[in-house]
Amino acid sequence: MLTAELKEELIVWLSAALAEGTTAKTANAIAATQRYLTSGDEHDLSPIVYELMEMDDAAPPHVLQLLGEQFLRGDRIPYAIDVFTHLDDYEKLHTIGEQCLRTGRHFQALRVFERLGDMNGLEEIIKRERNNIIGECAVEAYLGGLSPKFTRGFRQYAKRKIGKQGDEAPEYYFLRDDNSNLLAQAAHTAARLARTYDFGIGIASGGLWLSYVMEMYGLPVLITGPQKRGKGVRWRTIDDLSGITDKKVLVLENDVATGKTLQKAAEEIMRFSPRQLDLLLVIDYNWGVPDSQVYNRVPSEFGKVYAVNRMQYSLRDIQELKIRIANYSRSAASAP
């Protein structure tokens, strides 16, 4: 039922808006409000709330606030979320999110926590809805919340490793819609493999994304790779590889196209006689090519071959990732 206070505020605002003269969108809001006040249907506020929020002129915040409270009292949570989001009322949104979490309205809670960037709230949804679409959306929102800091750190890392070429190092694997969980999979992979190997060797520039993740988890990574010079290409060993002799080495690359880059990398690396040479790819598919053909392109010098996109991850993996990103960012900022 429409409260007397809200009805009075709507009438006051309507009179003022009619007297001032308005834009087309505000005129639509006025017309919707007039129809609402004369229709006798005091149960459905939705016809006017979106018109008010779409006004070209400054919408009346106090009226919208009353509308939002009316929606809450009527248990019309989606409308209330829309109103308080429009008002940037983060305190009220947090209260709604917690209420939705308590009452099992996890989709609405997800909307709120994603808007607020509330990682703890998103974690709670992931715990409760891990194996369905809401849980998947919560994971995507969680990773999206980590994205800005991760991306800034990656760009700094790539530039530090290979200079100006680092600006072109691909990060699109994380950002593409069909690979939205890839960073979580990479976190699981790094937690599993970082302590197994003595060194990682990243192939510039495609392998830098994975090199950054692995270093974040404590694996020392050296960089090597092809470099264009004029119309030709030469191999450039950016870091000294002499320390890998008799060590367990994991090569880091994005994918396998022809296998020529990996073959050259293997030849360069084997000059230093590592005890073990394995390969970690970001993805093991290549534009519809069957898996068997992709693996056939991997040079015989490599033993085990892992692929990030084949890994399963848990909530613990993405919680640990959040901590690792924060710690690595702080250590990089304090480095000389």
pTM above 0.75, yes or no: yes
Greatest extent of the chain over all pairs of C-alpha atoms, in Å: 86
199-203 and 248-253 beta bridge pairing:
parallel
Under 8 Å between Cβ of 20 and 12: no
**Is the model more confident about 181 or about 318?**
318
**Is the model more confident about 99 or about 1?**
99
CATH topology (fold) of 162-334: Rossmann fold (3.40.50)
Residue-wise pLDDT for 59-105, tens only, equals 678 878 888 888 898 898 999 999 999 899 999 999 999 999 999 99
Under 8 Å between Cβ of 157 and 208: yes
For the chain, the average pLDDT equals: 85
With bands split at pLDDT 50, 70 and 90, how would you rate the model's confidence at 186? Answer: very high
**Type of residue numbered 141:** A
Cα–Cα distance for residue pair 91/330, rounded to 1 Å: 29
Under 8 Å between Cβ of 57 and 22: yes
Query: How confident is the model over 23-34, as a mean pLDDT?
Result: 72
Cα–Cα distance for residue pair 296/299, rounded to 1 Å: 8
Residue identified by tokens 């909307």 is: 111
What does the pLDDT read at residue 291?
Answer: 66
- Given a cut of 60, whether residue 22 has pLDDT beyond it is yes
- Given a cut of 80, whether residue 38 has pLDDT beyond it is no
Pick from 39-48, 62-71, 117-126, 147-156 the range whose average pLDDT is largest.
117-126
- Enumerate the domain spans of the chain: 4-141, 162-334
- Given a cut of 60, whether residue 41 has pLDDT beyond it is no
With bands split at pLDDT 50, 70 and 90, how would you rate the model's confidence at 171? Answer: low
Long-range contacts (CB closer than 8 Å, 24 or more residues apart) made by 107-116: 107/134, 108/77, 108/78, 108/81, 110/134, 110/137, 110/138, 110/141, 111/78, 111/81, 112/81, 113/138, 113/141, 114/138, 114/141, 114/144, 114/145, 115/85, 116/90
Under 8 Å between Cβ of 241 and 268: yes
- Given a cut of 70, whether residue 42 has pLDDT beyond it is no
Query: How confident is the model over 208-226, as a mean pLDDT?
Result: 95
**Type of residue numbered 231:** K
58: DSSP letter: P
Query: How confident is the model over 49-53, as a mean pLDDT?
Result: 73
Residues in the chain: 336
Q: Which residues contact 53 (CB under 8 A, 6 or more apart)?
A: 59, 64, 82, 83, 86
Q: In the β-sheet with 199-203, what is the strand arrangement from edge to edge?
A: 232-237, 221-229, 199-203, 248-253, 276-281, 305-307
Pick from 40-49, 144-153, 302-311 the range whose average pLDDT is largest.
302-311
**Type of residue numbered 244:** I
Q: What's the gap between Cα 99 and its chain centre? A: 25
